[in-house]
Amino acid sequence: MAFSGPGKDRPTEFVSKPGSGVVLVVQKRVAQDNKAVESALKSLEGKWERVSCTVDGKDHDSDEVKDRFQVIKGEKAAFLYKDKVRFTHSLKLDPSKSPGHIDYKYDDGPAKGKSFKGIYKIDGDTFTLAFGGPDQDRPTEFVSKPGTGVTLAIHKRIR
């Protein structure tokens, strides 16, 4: 794309010569690797038990994480408490990022329609997730500090 500054004639070619005032911008479409996404989704499929959770720097005690699960199948997930579905959401992964990006969009429940940006990693049977609240920036590390609004949750796969 080529454009010129205010008061200059519209460019007629894709060239930017010194002193012309023409700006040339080259953009490249980057296609997401669908096979990498499918593989990442496959690695997350199944039932995950929450084993620890820290919200805004405060650790939840064992009673607060007990009996809480996440079941993932494809691009859908459900949060369960005592094996009863509490809410569901759609998820989108970008495993090409480091750490991997995960976005949740709630299908129902108190956060219906809201999206949460997060990061994730899978290490064997451990799924670690850090995410901010709705409309917050994506966390860049697996840490939940006071005042950040970040939730850090660690899950173990149920076999």
For residues 122-159, b (16+ Cβ closer than 10 Å) or e, as one string? beeeebbbbbbeeeeebbeeeebeeebbbbbbbbebee
pLDDT of residue 148: 94
pLDDT of residue 13: 78
Integer CA distances (angstroms), 25 to 2, 48, 94, 110, 115, in order: 6, 46, 26, 43, 32
| CATH class of the structural domain 34-158 | mainly beta
pLDDT of residue 143: 97
Both tokens of 22, joined, read 């023409």
pLDDT of residue 15: 76
Find, among 51, 45, 49, the residue nearest to 72 by Cα: 45
pLDDT of residue 156: 98
Both tokens of 6, joined, read 């205010």
Tens place of pLDDT for every residue, the chain, 159 residues? Answer: 766 667 777 877 777 778 777 776 776 555 556 899 999 999 999 999 999 999 999 999 998 999 999 999 999 999 999 999 999 999 999 999 999 999 999 999 888 999 999 999 999 999 999 999 998 999 999 999 999 999 999 999 998
Both tokens of 64, joined, read 């607060």
